[in-house]
Amino acid sequence: MKRSSHAMRSLFLIHLPVLLIVLFAIGPYIWSLISSITPEGAIARGGVRYFPEEPTLENYRRLFARIHFADNIFDSMVVATLSMLFGLSVSVPASYSFSRFRFRGRRVLLLQFLVINMFPVVLLLIPLFVIMSRTGLMDTYFALVFAYATFTIPFSTWMMTSFFNAIPRELDEQAQIDGCTQLAAMMRVIVPIAMPGITATGIYIFITGWNEFVFASVLTGSRVTTIPIALQNMVGEFQIAWGLLTAGGVISAIPVIVLFFFVQKQLISGMTAGAVKG
């Protein structure tokens, strides 16, 4: 009886609420997937249908054959990857310096990084537009990479500084006793231990660059068209191509899902890598 009552309590207090939350979270994605394999005519007729009577992949074929969505995926992948690499190359050494060194103005700079994130990033839109226009970077990958760096690097530096603070300083000292320089101690010992935090920060920067719309709509044009801009172009003044729109949304979610599958192993292995001498 005790086991039965405990199982029932666990079902209603833990498993059922978790199941409802999961269904609520993935519900829109399931509906988008169903809509993407529904013929355009069936969508236009309206009504509630939980599954199409004649599922089809015509929306996906049109997406790549007529809309050239593969070029949009490539542009988004390049922008997100470059943003992640550039952001990590700046924020990792910066956060390590804030964590390990004590210098004049350290707290003020950290506070400024926090204050920057309190303002809407759209305030940077006009200054960045002027800068990119005068430097000839408009409608290029680097225009978006530098634009995203203005708000991803401060937040990443602030976030990783706390993570580096949790790593004992004795590891740096022991590495230097063994003959490492400060830079070598950071790269060989501290960075492998901090890999979970670095990975999480890289994911944040990548997803930001992958999903960002406002800067991409202003700083790019015909040569560079990321996925959010391509999806927005499917929304007309009098008609919305729901089949193409949902198919594009499903395709755009796949790279992020695949990334998380690979990152799970890195998160686990990064917790123990680099802390053992051998």
Question: Distance between alpha carbon 1 and the CA centroid of its chain, in Å?
Answer: 48
Of the pLDDT bands very low, low, confident and very high (cuts 50, 70, 90), residue 129 is very high
Q: What is the pTM of this model?
A: 0.83
Let me know: does 255 contact 72? Beta carbons within 8 Å. Answer: no
Compute the average pLDDT of residues 122-151.
Answer: 92
Phi-psi region of 39 (alpha: psi -120 to 50; beta: other; left: phi over 0): beta
The pLDDT of residue 29 is above 90: no
Least confident of 131-135, 145-149, 157-161, 209-213: 157-161
Q: What does the mean pLDDT of the chain come to? A: 84
pLDDT recorded at residue 112: 81
The pLDDT of residue 121 is above 90: no
Structure-block tokens of residue 76: 């988004």
The pLDDT of residue 104 is above 50: yes
Let me know: does 154 contact 117? Beta carbons within 8 Å. Answer: yes
Q: Indicate the DSSP class of residue 235.
A: B
- Taking the C-alpha atoms of residue 43 and residue 81, their distance in angstroms, rounded to an integer, is 35
Compute the average pLDDT of residues 194-201.
Answer: 86
| Superfamily of chain region 59-270 | MetI-like (1.10.3720.10)
DSSP string of 46-70, one letter each residue:
-S--SS-SS---HHHHHHHHTS-HH
Residue 120's SS3 state is coil
pLDDT recorded at residue 3: 62
